[in-house]
Chains A and B, each alone.
Chain A
Amino acid sequence: MNSIEALKDLLYKMADDQLIIGHRNSEWTGIGPLLEEDIAFSSMAQDKLGQSEHLYNLLNQLGEADADTVAFTRNAPQFHNCQFVELPIGEYDFSLIRHLLFDYAELLRFESLQNSSYQPLAQVAKKFFGEIKYHFMHASTWVRQLGTGNEESSQRMQLALDQAWDYGLGIFEQGPAEEVLISEGIFIGESELQAKWYKGLQPILEEAKLKIPAKDQWSPIIGGRRGEHTKHLQPLLDEMTEVYSIDPTADW
Chain B
Amino acid sequence: MNQEEIRNILKEVKDPEIPTISIVDLGIVTGIKLNGEDVHITLTPTFAGCPALKLMENMVKDRLDLVEEIGQVSVETSFETTWTTDMISEEGRKAIQQHGLAPPKRNCSNISMEVLEDTACPYCGSDDTSLKSPFGPTLCRSLHYCNNCRQAFEGFKPVG
Contacts and interface: CB of A to CB of B under 8 A. Distances in A.
Contact of A44 (B135, B137, B143, B157): B135
Contacts of A137: 111-113, 134
Given A40-B135, A44-B135, A123 B82 contact: yes
A233 interface: no
A122 to B, nearest CB: 9
Given A46-B139, A123-B79, A40 B48 contact: no
Interface residues of chain B: helix, strand, loop or mixed (majority)? loop
Find the residue from A42, A54, A126, A134 having the highest chain B CB count within 10 A: A134
B22 interface: no
Interface residues of B, number: 26
Nearest to B133: A36
A48 B80 contact: no
Nearest to B142: A134
Contacts of A131: 47-49, 159
B84 interface: yes
A44 to B, nearest CB: 7
A110 B51 CA distance: 22
Interface string A33-67: 00011011011101111110110000000000000
Interface residues of chain A: helix, strand, loop or mixed (majority)? helix
Contacts of A44: 135
A73 interface: no
Contacts of A127: 45, 47-48, 79, 82-83
A47 B132 CA distance: 20
Given A36-B143, A138-B134, 7 more contacts: A47-B49, A50-B50, A123-B82, A124-B79, A126-B79, A127-B83, A134-B157
